[in-house]
Structures are given as structure tokens and as C-alpha cells.
Amino acid sequence: MSDNHPTDQQRRQHYRVVYPLGLQPELKIVGRTFPVIDLSEAGIRFENPEGVKLPGDLLQGTVTFHDGGTEKVMGRVCREQGNYTVILLIVKRIPYTRILAEQKYLRQAPRR
């Protein structure tokens, strides 16, 4: 029997940057700061071990990167699972140029 369902990787429309420990940007929303696990132009997955409840409607935040640069984001929580939360960026996304810069930074960063 053939399974014609695409895998999660095949369904992705945007390149995802996955951060190792110690090199994670920070996401500040609702007055709290969370370490980013991975991100793309259209979404952010971040650590939320305390299970902080976030508003179901649109929420705004700021991602601060290794170089001190920031990107304002706006979206909606689409999933909470275990110790992480995922926000779908439907209004204000992360520019593709930032995604490329982060990818370059991580390739050049010393291994820990």
C-alpha cells in the first residue's frame, strides 16, 4: 500500500533555523523572555517549561538575535506541547534576509 501523504519536512514552505544550546535568540512576549528553539520566516518554536499561558488572539513580540539586532513579530499560538510553544507568524514575519544571516552565523559559530 502506498502512502502519498507528505512528511512534515515536505510540507514546510519556509527554511527553518534550528539553534543549539547557548546560541539561541530570545523571544520577548507578554513581559517574559523565552529561548528560541527554532524559527522560520513564518513561525517560532520556543521553550516554555513553565507552561506560561499566552493569549489565543494576536500577540506581539520581539526576537533579539546574537548581534543585538531585533525583529518585531506578530502572530498567534498554534501549538503548545510539552515544554515548548509554537507561534504562527501571520501578520509580522521574520525577513528572509535575517534567516540567511542566522544560517551563516550558525555555520561559522564555534562548536561547543
Per-residue model confidence as pLDDT tens digits over 32-64: 999 999 999 999 999 999 888 887 778 999 999
Contact partners, residue 86, CB within 8 Å, separation at least 6: 43, 44, 45, 77, 78, 79, 80
pTM to 2 decimal places:
0.84
pLDDT at residue 46 in the model:
97
Helices (H), the chain: 8-11, 96-108
Q: CA triplet 40, 84, 63: central angle to 5 degrees?
A: 45
| pLDDT in 10s for each residue of the chain, 112 residues | 344 444 444 345 778 999 999 999 999 998 999 999 999 999 999 999 988 888 777 899 999 999 999 999 999 999 898 999 999 999 899 999 999 999 999 999 877 5
pLDDT at residue 12 in the model:
54
Domain architecture of the chain: domains with CATH: 8-107 (2.40.10.220)
